Amino acid sequence: MTLTLLIDLDDTLISNDIEVFQKAYFKRLAEALQPWVPMDKFMPAMMAAIQAMLTKKTPALTMEEQFDQVFYPQIGTPKSELMETIHRFYSESFPELRKHTARRPEAIELVQSAISRGWDVVVATNPLFPWTAIEQRLDWAGVSPDEFGFKLVTSYENSHFCKPHPAYYAEILGNLNWPSGPVVMVGNSLEDDIIPAEKLGLPTFWLHEEDSETPARNPFSQTGAFENVLPWLEKVEKEQQIPDLQSISAIYATLQSTPAVFDTLSRPLPIEVWAQRPAESEWNLIEILAHLRDVDREVNLGRIALTIRGENPFLPGANTDPWVRERNYAAEPARAALEGFFESRTNLLKLIDGATPNDLAQPARHAIFGPTTLKELLGFIATHDRTHIRQAWNAIEAAV
């Protein structure tokens, strides 16, 4: 099974004092927008929009859409009126920020070695920047996306979560069809790269000097310098250490990310692809989404509400597959099922938000699985999510 390497950008693939870089970046962008946006409005609006992205926990809206909802109303100018100026800023002014960065030859060598071994490499950079800014910085780092076959590069256009949320990492894996082989994360930030990836169940390599303060981590995780990363990756590949997705943080991240993954998968598709089945007996994308929506609405929400009360309820079985034909899901408007799934899953997430260990241990009696707990029920939903993401991938690949 192929190893999947997630690797950070800032101070990992490229040397970049992020505070110095951001200060220069905001200054130049503010100057470019000054004819439309007074300086005293720019930074408060920018900080509010960034904070909205950093704290976002729900699957609806990409990082770009979340940013736009906050930034443009606060500056009082529609995005459409500024797009030409913003494009010109990124093509003419942003490249001058290269002087605040430096290449890391050891990082280039690591990426080259990983790709030459047939591993899938993902640039897992915090998606607070647009694609053009990330693409340029990768070019400055000497690992241009045009030359290196990255499996995915996260940006604010294609991400619904950001670091340090474990859902950011779960969304990446969903967008990769939940890889069946080992998945690891390499980065320099304990708070953004290491801890949230570990919460999802990924082994990590922390680019940091060994010290006594290293927190408890995955048994296969390691701390050290760049020269130690490749031998570590080879060991992980040899041992085939696949992610452990059974912790409550991994389960919750999966539940958060699933609608976001479907949004990313479906956006570029023509309507006819949404409705195309791989075979007559198999489901198309609309049917999969409507199924997930109705199972959340009519099965999952009720079971969770009953169990979390602490009354050890009996949970009858539910045969939901026939609903696909009985309810004629295929006739629904293409985006309606997805929007309904966003709503039903957000309601489910609200129901379990703040659940304590005692809540998660609440028992229930399942008609099929027997004695269970709230945590186990949530784990069933997360497994069900991953199954249908893979099903959707198969349907899309068969259609295109």
pTM of the predicted model as reported, rounded to 2 decimal places: 0.96
225 sits in the region (left: phi over 0; alpha: psi -120 to 50; else beta) called: beta
pLDDT category, 231, cuts 50, 70, 90? Answer: very high
Distance CA 375, CA 222 (A): 29
Tell whether 272 and 177 lie within a shared domain.
Answer: no
pLDDT tens-digit map of 281-296 = 899 999 999 999 999 9
Helices and strands counted in the chain (H then E): 17, 11
pLDDT tens-digit map of 134-160 = 999 999 999 999 999 999 999 999 999
- Which residues constitute the domain of residue 366? 248-399
Tell me the pLDDT of the chain averaged across its residues: 94
Q: What is the CATH number of the domain that holds 212?
A: 3.40.50.1000
Tell whether 304 and 228 lie within a shared domain.
Answer: no
Element (H, E) at 20: helix 18-33
For helices 374-399 and 334-352, give the axis angle rounded to 10 degrees.
160
Domain count, the chain: 2
Residue where a domain terminates, one of 215, 241, 267: 241
Q: How many CA atoms does the CB half-sphere of 100 hold within 13 Å?
A: 16
Using alpha carbons only, give the angle 311, 312, 316 rounded to the nearest 5 degrees: 120
Tell whether 10 and 65 lie within a shared domain.
Answer: yes
Tell whether 10 and 48 lie within a shared domain.
Answer: yes
Tell whether 122 and 229 lie within a shared domain.
Answer: yes
3-state helix, strand, coil in the chain (%, to 5): 55, 10, 35
Tell whether 279 and 186 lie within a shared domain.
Answer: no
Q: How far is Cα of residue 284 from the mean position of the Cα atoms in its chain?
A: 24
Per-residue pLDDT at 9 exceeds 80: yes
Tell whether 72 and 44 lie within a shared domain.
Answer: yes
Tell whether 254 and 199 lie within a shared domain.
Answer: no
Per-residue pLDDT at 215 exceeds 80: no
Per-residue pLDDT at 212 exceeds 80: no
Tell whether 120 and 194 lie within a shared domain.
Answer: yes
Per-residue pLDDT at 211 exceeds 90: no
Distance CA 258, CA 338 (A): 11
Per-residue pLDDT at 314 exceeds 80: yes
Token code pair at residue 272: 């006819």
Tell whether 203 and 264 lie within a shared domain.
Answer: no
Tell whether 97 and 177 lie within a shared domain.
Answer: yes
